[in-house]
Structure 1
Amino acid sequence: MYGFTSVSSKGDIEEGTLYPGLGYGENQLRWGFIRKVYGILSAQILLTTVVSSVTVLYSPVNELLRGNPGLLLFFMFLPFILLWPMYVYQQKHPLNLIFLGLFTVCLSLTVGVSCANTDGKIVLEALILTSAVASSLTAYTFWASKRGKDFSYLGPILFTSLIVLLLTGFIQMFFPLGSTSVAIYGGLSAIVFSAYIVYDTDNLIKRFTYDEYIWASVTLYLDLLNLFLSILRVLRQSDS
């Protein structure tokens, strides 16, 4: 009877183990860290939804941003500047949350402008597809990690792909591509950021330290946001 109980308890522990070889105490701490990160990420997504909705539904805000390209560019580039203080002060409360909030609001405004210039049906389709893809990839990564799979090898590949995407996007500013090329660019971007969700989720499970909860939420937030914008770009080009 005692032997059966021991085996059963061990099985229950192993069922909740994030990856092979992780001790019970460390596994519990890791799950707590993951819940904290996803809690912050959920707050970011909620804030993005609210700010984007205001931008879309309250015309003065949308008109102000669309009528002032310089102001819109400011909000587009400010998040890149905020990445530095967020990284430096990621362990200093409440500065880390203040910078994270500013970072999220700036990106949300640009997302709101993109949604305001797109048919509502297409925005909804992009939102549903993004949710489905992100949920599936996250579930797969947890499942694969539990079975000992590792995705750290994706790091150099994805970094190179991201640089190519950024350079291509920069070139498009001066030499606009045709609608087909834009759709292909959006499709490739969606693939890259889908892979980033797997890579960063794997890092969340295994590599981020417990003090890097802000940085972990930022990476996942950027993955989701860029995936949504990439899908939105493809659907918009397909519709037109």
Structure 2
Amino acid sequence: MGVGTDKRFWQFGGGGGQDVETGMPLYPGADSLDNALRWGFIRKVYGIIAVQLVLTTMVAATVVMNASVQHFLLQNFGIQIALLLVSILALIPLYIWRTTHPHNLIMLGIWTTLFSVTVGMTCSFYQPAIVLEALFLTAAVVLGLTLYAFHATRQGTDLTFMGPALYGCLLAMVVWSFIQLIFPPGPVGRTIFALLGAILFSFYLVFDTQLLISRFDLDDYIWAAITIYLDIINLFLYLLRLLGEQQRSS
């Protein structure tokens, strides 16, 4: 795996001129070789995530700004359900062939495009100012939590024990989502749901970032990118919903 020729990068919380790949370890017990390989893996994953986010922005903006596309999608409930189901079911073959190159990258591009359409449909329900506010807020939260996760991992603070609790909370949120289809909540209920969802995926972002730093296999760059990408997108959607509810109540 290529690590790159210039290995001098800014170190989180450290001196400006130190080589992070051969200096302080990413996690306790990592030697210089572990650091070099892991930094190469991390840069590869974040590079993929950056491409995914750019693609999502382009597709979502197309849906929001194109009235004919937006009208077609919003008026065909069956297509909305199909896109959602395909986005979920496509994760199965993506996981199975996550290490098979180049099929994994091709499947990832198709899946990201389809998922981005659903993101665009969600954004179309809100005013552009609210969408931009949620976007900037998400960027700030993601940056802060990512820096915290790197710092905590370097200090030996292991938060991966939260996995079972986070999974249980996620299942509860999914069940609550289906209940809302039958018993629509009021403004307070929708606000609480959005707030809890934002908190949940904030924790998931820290959890998955620690897995990225020290636990993911170096060949699992596709699945690592998907997990963090989904954390970011879900955080954005819940913040968007939360801001939208605040606007309606004001």
Sort the TM-score into its range (normalised by shorter chain): over 0.9
The answer for the alignment partner of 2:34 in structure 1 is 26
Distance in structure 2 (CA, Å) of the matches to 1:201 and 1:112: 26
Rg: which structure is higher?
Answer: 1
Q: What pairs with 1:74-153 in structure 2 (closer than 5 Å)? A: 74-153=82-161
Residue correspondences, number: 232
The Cα shift of 1:179 comes to 1.3
The Cα shift of 1:17 comes to 1.7
The Cα shift of 1:10 comes to 9.9
Distance in structure 2 (CA, Å) of the matches to 1:17 and 1:59: 51
Amino acid at match of 2:131: V
Which runs of 5 or more residues in structure 2 are unaligned?
1-16
The question of 1:69 aligning with 2:77 is answered: yes
Q: Secondary structure at the match of 1:22?
A: coil
**CA distance 1:21–1:215, shift in 2 (3 Å):** same
Distance in structure 2 (CA, Å) of the matches to 1:80 and 1:13: 36
Distance in structure 2 (CA, Å) of the matches to 1:145 and 1:115: 34
Amino acid at match of 1:211: D
Between 37-46 and 73-82, the greater mean CA deviation after superposition: 73-82
The answer for the alignment partner of 1:39 in structure 2 is 47
Amino acid at match of 1:210: L
The answer for the alignment partner of 1:159 in structure 2 is 167
Q: Secondary structure at the match of 1:203?
A: helix
**CA distance 1:11–1:72, shift in 2 (3 Å):** closer
The Cα shift of 1:11 comes to 9.1
TM-score (norm 1): 0.93
The Cα shift of 1:145 comes to 0.9
User: 191, 198, 219: which is aligned to 1:190?
Assistant: 198
Between 165-174 and 10-19, the greater mean CA deviation after superposition: 10-19
- Percent identity (aligned): 43
The Cα shift of 1:116 comes to 1.3
The Cα shift of 1:91 comes to 1.1
Distance in structure 1 (CA, Å) of the matches to 2:19 and 2:68: 59
The answer for the alignment partner of 1:5 in structure 2 is none
**CA distance 1:124–1:92, shift in 2 (3 Å):** same
Whether the 8 Å CA contact 2:22–2:35 is kept in 1: the answer is no
Which runs of 5 or more residues in structure 1 are unaligned?
1-8
Superposed CA RMSD in Å reads 1.6
Q: Secondary structure at the match of 2:160?
A: coil
Q: Deviations over 1:40-96 (max 9, x none)?
A: 000000000000010011111111100100001111111111011001111112211
Amino acid at match of 1:92: T
**CA distance 1:30–1:113, shift in 2 (3 Å):** same
The answer for the alignment partner of 2:247 in structure 1 is 239
Q: Secondary structure at the match of 1:194?
A: helix
TM-score (norm 2): 0.90
User: 215, 230, 234: which is aligned to 2:223?
Assistant: 215
The question of 1:202 aligning with 2:210 is answered: yes
Amino acid at match of 2:201: F
Q: Deviations over 1:200-233 (max 9, x none)?
A: 0000001000110000000000000100000011
The Cα shift of 1:12 comes to 6.9
Amino acid at match of 1:155: G
**CA distance 1:94–1:14, shift in 2 (3 Å):** closer
